Structure 1
Amino acid sequence: MSLDAFITGLVFIIIHLLTNHLMPASRLQRLRWLSFSAGIAVSYVFVYVLPSLHEEQADFGEQREEFVMESELYFIGLLGLLVFYGVQKLADHISRDEEGVKLEGPFFWIQIAFFTVYNMLISYIVIAADVEGVQAAFYSIAIGTHFIAVAHDLWREDARRYNRLGRFIMAGGIVVGWLSGMFIELSSFMLSIIFAFISGAMILNVLKVELPSEEDAHFPTFAMAAVGYTAIVMALKYFFEW
């Protein structure tokens, strides 16, 4: 594992442990920060996740000539979106009483378990890919801000339990994915499937969790982050042929 991958995993762990301290105190500053994070995350989906999924599909087709539909990994991505969305809906359903009132305890811990697995898969893909240098820095910024938004959402759900135990469980998921990426080497075939599956889940979470509601959005900040991050990444792709 490269030093860049090691630092990336460490940053992801710190994010989950300190999210409540990283967020600005004032509501306006917090909304701007969340809008900025959402802009980067949406940009990341369109300038990295979807193009990478296309490249993985092309490589996948060359390795597995029996697959001729040229859309197998897109189906896996859709499956990832459906599975993660279905788990969230199921968690919401079983966490309500007969009158439809949400019970505080079960839903929070189901969400923690759900995002712990999500963190583990993302960190495994990041470490296993062994991305280095400037490329690692810019992709880590996008995933890191995505993790901040997810962790902050859970912190708002129940700050006391998140601070006491939840953040350590989620950080533990990153550690498991981090160590797995270091010591477990999967075939490119399996890595493509995992990447496609988690890509679908990430697209769902970016659009469902990170995009602020209309009353909570600060559109100029969102647009500036999305356009700025896209322009920088596209320029770096052009000059460094990522």
Structure 2
Amino acid sequence: MSSLVAAFVLASVHVFAGRLRQLNRLPRSRWLSMAGGVSVAYVFVHLLPELARGQEVLGGSDWWLLSYLEHHVWLLALLGLATFYGVERVIKVHRRRLPADQEPHAGVFWLHIGAFAIYNGLIGYLLIHGENSSLTTLMLYCVAMSLHFLVNDFALQSDHKGLFRRRGRWLLAAMPLAGWTLGLASEVSELAVSALTAFVGGSIILNVLKEELPEERDSRFSAFLLGSVGYSVLLLSVQGS
């Protein structure tokens, strides 16, 4: 039941984020920068150590392809990063060809939203099969991913305008619940969980940093640092207890 509540919390971010219009401005809201810092801290302090453990799981696999790829867990993280980098490049090139207030072509819109829908579904799936065995770790995961979804929501609104508000956000809101349902109905190996965790970890890093680094965003480094350091301290204190 706790994981189901977490799935609803994740879904609600996309439903209600549009009401926080004061965050959608330049220079970038310090709250969004802080949210990005929390997400990145979760990846580096919690997910990447899990990837190190997952490397041992995958390294002992009898599947010839995984045995051949000596550092396959890290390559899966790189694949997640590269996948979303490629999608973002397609979107940015397309946006530059359009007037600022014009909605993108439907095919480009659904490519972008489809990628994030799968991404949200994987995050929902890991509510069941990820490293969330206790209520505390589940809450830490839910908080970090909720803030990450908030950052993604404003980025997608900026790219797709009204089309995202009318259609995209509802699909993205449904996917954590769909992923949770799939996780409840299916049993997967520890190898598969490690692979999914790796892919999601790399994707989170790219999706946060692409919003923080561009000069035109005028991001708030102090807020990003506060979020990342503060959440790192919280994660380390929980892990050490």
Quickly say closer, same or farther: Cα 1:207–1:4, change in 2 above 3 A: same
- CA displacement at 1:64 relative to structure 2: 4.4
C-alpha contact 1:78 1:200 (8 A) present in aligned 2: yes
Give the letter aligned to residue 32 of structure 1: R
Identity %: 33
Distance in 2 separating the partners of 1:35 and 1:128: 29
Distance in 1 separating the partners of 2:91 and 2:83: 12
Counterpart of 1:77 in structure 2 is 77
Task: Provide TM-score, normalisation by structure 1.
Answer: 0.84
Counterpart of 1:142 in structure 2 is 144
Cα RMSD (Å) of the superposition? Answer: 2.6
Determine helix, strand or coil for the equivalent of 1:105. coil
Q: Give the gaps of 5 or more residues in structure 1.
A: none
Quickly say closer, same or farther: Cα 1:92–1:116, change in 2 above 3 A: same
Counterpart of 2:8 in structure 1 is 10
Deviations, residues 16-72 of structure 1 (Å, cap 9, x unaligned):
111112454685896111111111112112101211111111222244497376512
Give the letter aligned to residue 174 of structure 1: P
1:101 aligns with 2:97: yes
Quickly say closer, same or farther: Cα 1:69–1:25, change in 2 above 3 A: closer
Quickly say closer, same or farther: Cα 1:50–1:105, change in 2 above 3 A: same
How does 1:170-209 map onto structure 2 within 5 Å? 170-209=172-211
* Runs of 4+ that moved beyond 4 A: 25-30, 63-66, 210-215
C-alpha contact 2:37 2:226 (8 A) present in aligned 1: yes
Q: Which moved more, 1:42-51 or 1:139-148?
A: 42-51
**What is the total number of aligned residue pairs between the two structures?**
233
C-alpha contact 1:34 1:212 (8 A) present in aligned 2: no
Q: Among 208, 222, 225, which residue is 1:223 paired with?
A: 225
Determine helix, strand or coil for the equivalent of 2:40. helix
Counterpart of 1:235 in structure 2 is 237
Counterpart of 2:50 in structure 1 is 52
Counterpart of 1:117 in structure 2 is 118
Q: Which moved more, 1:35-44 or 1:9-18?
A: 35-44
Task: Provide TM-score, normalisation by structure 2.
Answer: 0.84
Q: Which moved more, 1:212-221 or 1:151-160?
A: 212-221
Determine helix, strand or coil for the equivalent of 1:104. coil
C-alpha contact 2:47 2:197 (8 A) present in aligned 1: no
